[in-house]
Chain A
Amino acid sequence: MEKFNILEGIAAPIPLINIDTDMLIPKQFLKTIKRTGLGENLFFEMRYDQNGNEIKDFILNKDHYSKASIIVGGANFGCGSSREHAPWALKDFGIKCIISTSFADIFFNNCFKNGILPIIVSEDLHQILLQDAEMETTSIMKIDLENQKIVRNNGDQLDFEVDEFKKYCLLNGLDDIGLTLKSADKISSFEKEYSKKFSWS
């Protein structure tokens, strides 16, 4: 997995609440057996009309924001299904960070597995960042994961929280399976004891 340290890029405002995984990537694109190539279908129904033409008003279709690497999104971002196609589509589009007041649990986890940093901020900070994102001139932000800072275009630094283990994995681009297999002996001895007590499992 690619390492995440400092990200500097355009933030696109999508303040709609309850952005669900069907909006992020509709079901017709789940038939793929690959992880890549989903970016052009991100937000498919909001981005393209029935004839497949781009809907000009949609934020990610605007010239400036089509190069966004950050989304400032509404509450309960990523609710719905467990499809990892949602973060795959975001990543493939170029999104590496999502800022919201809250995320759905499964989506939140899936982001970290794909090198995307979801940041939870307070309502007040969210409003400030949304306003920044809405103006092209102030929409460029810097995300410093190591120091846990969001740096606004005017230089203001805002702190954010992130789980230590998830931060460590992102900073070092670590793959979970490799890490877990370091505990292979522990798993085996657990399994042995467990199968004695729970013989039917």
Chain B
Amino acid sequence: MKIMVKSRTLYDKIWDNHLIQSENDTSLIYIDRHLVHEVTSPQAFEGLREAGRKVRAPEKTIAVPDHNVATTSDRLTNFGSEEGRIQLETLDKNARDFGIHYYAVDDIRQGIVHIIGPEQGWTLPGMTIVCGDSHTATHGAFGALAHGIGTSEVEHVLATQTLIQQKSKNMKVEVSGELGKGVTAKDITLTIIGKTGTAGGTGHVIEYCGNAIESLSMEGRMTVCNMAIEGGARAGLIAPDQKTLDYVKGRPNSPKGEKWDQAVKLWKTLFSDPDAYFDKEIFLKAEDIAPVVTWGTSPEDVLPITDFVPSPDNFRGSKVEAAKRSLEYMGLRPGQKLQDIEVDAVFIGSCTNGRIEDLREVEKIVKGKKVKSGIRAMVVPGSGLVKKQAEEEGIANALKDAGFDWRMPGCSMCLAMNPDQLLPEERCAATSNRNFEGRQGRGGRTHLMSPAMAAAAAITGRLTDVRDI
């Protein structure tokens, strides 16, 4: 007798592997990895203590301070603020009291939670990974179902190692063809958001596919998945392939020996069946993607660098008012050439673009050149190990010689919780993920772009087409 098996997407397969029970639309799913940082966890641990509960699976729970840590070399004694110090101390105490894995501020492996997960081999294909941070989507680059959760859910996962979920819909984003010169993973992910809008993926898990996606390195794939959330999707996925296995193999916490062979056997089943159903499909040609920047205060406000600041009249409905407000906040006028916009600051780092490959891209552009005088340019490596590697490869010296400020690892000016902030009306070319009002400091003006584009802006002092450098 032939048994008919329903075609499934990659998301469906991971979901099915972790489904404990399901009633009506509400399911309980098992969580393989829980990443914890200092900002969204204190209230969750406090809840556990009040209820007399333990962490159910401390061996699957990994804590690291990143959002709030200072990035100056004296950060072990200078915390930036008293509240910040208390928050770090609270994480330290919670990690030790509850016996979870922990990378303290003075550990060279400390860094942004989404950078050290993959780096330390905690992130593996086919897993369910959660963290009280929306950029958990990053880990989807490994074919893991990874998404952000709130603090109540952090407490729920700590106590039960499960999450109450409703299954999302499936969305496919296929990018095919060959990327042009100067076009990077960041340009792909921003272009997708520009096309679908910040609510385009709401209620969906996105699977990114197509040969342009396959051609990306693991670092590039992480950049793409990282910003699934800016497109409204809680999670983004890329099917694992040989590149994924090569990246994962030999990491401190990845499986070894017989377990590795078992894992690889299962990981090879992690792909969407050819006729699997997607509720929504988007197709892009790689050749149509240019180096891009954002002009407004929503990540969907994306344009090729060769373009002009749009007029609110170009939009419809409630976006007209939103665009007016954005232009006023950003201090821009319709019709201005994007390449004429001068910047005051450059920020290179974040979970979107704080990996070694990103720093190599920056070095290629700035080596032997100087940051334009008057511009504040800062590089914040994503982890202590990225920092070390960049120092060993000579990248750090090249960047310092060019005039960049070389910092200790952390989230830094991506969300500006620590003292790394923009001043009111200060304009920044940033490799981070959000250009919201006040995101990088009250009144600060953020233009999102790739590391190469941000490096180019540092040299010329204005938004610049990296292909001209």
Output the least CB separation between A169 and chain B (Å). 9
Q: Which residues of B in the span 289-333 have a Cβ within 8 Å of any Cβ on A? A: 298, 318-319, 321-322, 325
What are 30 inter-chain pairs, A to B, with CB distance below 8 A?
A: A15-B318, A16-B321, A18-B322, A22-B439, A26-B438, A30-B417, A33-B43, A33-B46, A33-B86, A50-B442, A76-B202, A79-B199, A82-B134, A104-B199, A104-B232, A106-B149, A109-B149, A163-B166, A165-B25, A177-B155, A180-B156, A180-B159, A187-B20, A187-B28, A187-B160, A187-B162, A190-B20, A190-B30, A198-B126, A201-B124
Chain A residue nearest to B152 in the complex (CB): A113
Q: Contact check: which of B124, B153, B229, B415 meets A27 at CB < 8 Å?
A: B415
Q: Contact check: which of B81, B147, B150 meets A110 at CB < 8 Å?
A: B150
CB-based contact A183/B133 at 8 Å: no
CB-based contact A84/B150 at 8 Å: yes
Output the least CB separation between A136 and chain B (Å). 22
CB-based contact A33/B159 at 8 Å: no
Contact with A along B66-81 (1 / 0, CB 8 A): 0110000000000001
Q: Which residues from A are CB-within-8-Å of B68?
A: 31
In the complex, A83 has a CB within 8 A of chain B? yes
Q: Contact check: which of B60, B124, B168, B437 meets A45 at CB < 8 Å?
A: B437
Chain A residue nearest to B44 in the complex (CB): A84
Q: Contact check: which of B28, B46, B198 meets A79 at CB < 8 Å?
A: B198
In the complex, B132 has a CB within 8 A of chain A? yes
Q: How far is the CA of A87 from the CA of B60 in the complex (A)?
A: 28
**Contact A82:B152 (CB < 8 A) given known A17-B319, A76-B199, A180-B160:** no
In the complex, A2 has a CB within 8 A of chain B? no
**Contact A163:B232 (CB < 8 A) given known A81-B133, A198-B266:** no
Q: Which residues from A are CB-within-8-Å of B242?
A: none
In the complex, B173 has a CB within 8 A of chain A? no
Q: How far is the CA of A74 from the CA of B81 in the complex (A)?
A: 35
- Seen from chain A, the residues whose Cβ lies within 8 Å of a Cβ on chain B are 15-18, 20, 22-23, 26-28, 30-35, 45, 50, 74-76, 79-84, 87, 102-106, 109-110, 113-114, 163-165, 176-177, 180-181, 183-184, 186-187, 190-191, 194, 197-201
Binds A, one of B183-191, B217-225, B255-263, B396-404: B255-263
CB-based contact B150/A31 at 8 Å: no
Output the least CB separation between B446 and chain A (Å). 11
CB-based contact B202/A102 at 8 Å: yes
- Seen from chain B, the residues whose Cβ lies within 8 Å of a Cβ on chain A are 17-18, 20-21, 23-26, 28, 30, 32, 39-40, 42-43, 46, 51, 53, 60, 67-68, 81, 83-84, 86-87, 90, 124, 126-127, 132-134, 136, 147-153, 155-156, 159-162, 164, 166, 168, 198-199, 202-203, 229, 232-234, 254-255, 259-260, 262-263, 266, 298, 318-319, 321-322, 325, 415-417, 424, 434, 436-439, 442-443
Q: How far is the CA of A197 from the CA of B438 in the complex (A)?
A: 47
Output the least CB separation between B201 and chain A (Å). 9
CB-based contact B26/A165 at 8 Å: yes
Q: Contact check: which of A27, A34, A197 meets B417 at CB < 8 Å?
A: A27
CB-based contact A180/B162 at 8 Å: yes
Output the least CB separation between A167 and chain B (Å). 11
Chain B residue nearest to A165 in the complex (CB): B26
**Contact A30:B39 (CB < 8 A) given known A79-B232, A177-B156:** yes
Enumerate the 6 nearest inter-chain pairs by beta-carbon distance, A residue then B residue, closest first: A200-B255, A113-B152, A82-B148, A33-B42, A31-B83, A110-B150
Q: Which residues from B are CB-within-8-Å of A114?
A: 152
Q: How far is the CA of A176 from the CA of B164 in the complex (A)?
A: 8
Q: Which residues from B are CB-within-8-Å of A190?
A: 20, 30
**Contact A50:B424 (CB < 8 A) given known A16-B325, A82-B150:** yes
Output the least CB separation between A56 and chain B (Å). 18
CB-based contact B203/A22 at 8 Å: no
Output the least CB separation between A130 and chain B (Å). 11
Q: Contact check: which of A82, A87, A103, A104 meets B40 at CB < 8 Å?
A: A82
CB-based contact A23/B437 at 8 Å: yes
Q: Contact check: which of B199, B260, B437 meets A22 at CB < 8 Å?
A: B437
Q: How far is the CA of A74 from the CA of B325 in the complex (A)?
A: 14
**Contact A33:B442 (CB < 8 A) given known A18-B198, A180-B28:** no
Q: How far is the CA of A15 from the CA of B68 in the complex (A)?
A: 32
CB-based contact B442/A109 at 8 Å: no
CB-based contact A183/B417 at 8 Å: no
CB-based contact B24/A164 at 8 Å: yes
Q: How far is the CA of A84 from the CA of B232 in the complex (A)?
A: 17
Q: Which residues from B are CB-within-8-Å of A16?
A: 318, 321-322, 325
CB-based contact B152/A110 at 8 Å: yes
Q: Which residues from A are CB-within-8-Å of B28?
A: 180, 183, 186-187
Q: Which residues from B are CB-within-8-Å of A110?
A: 150, 152
CB-based contact B439/A200 at 8 Å: no
CB-based contact A31/B442 at 8 Å: no
Q: Which residues from B are CB-within-8-Å of A194?
A: 18, 30
Chain A residue nearest to B149 in the complex (CB): A82
Chain A residue nearest to B17 in the complex (CB): A198
Chain B residue nearest to A106 in the complex (CB): B148
Q: Which residues from A are CB-within-8-Å of B424?
A: 50
Output the least CB separation between A178 and chain B (Å). 9
Q: How far is the CA of A20 from the CA of B262 in the complex (A)?
A: 43
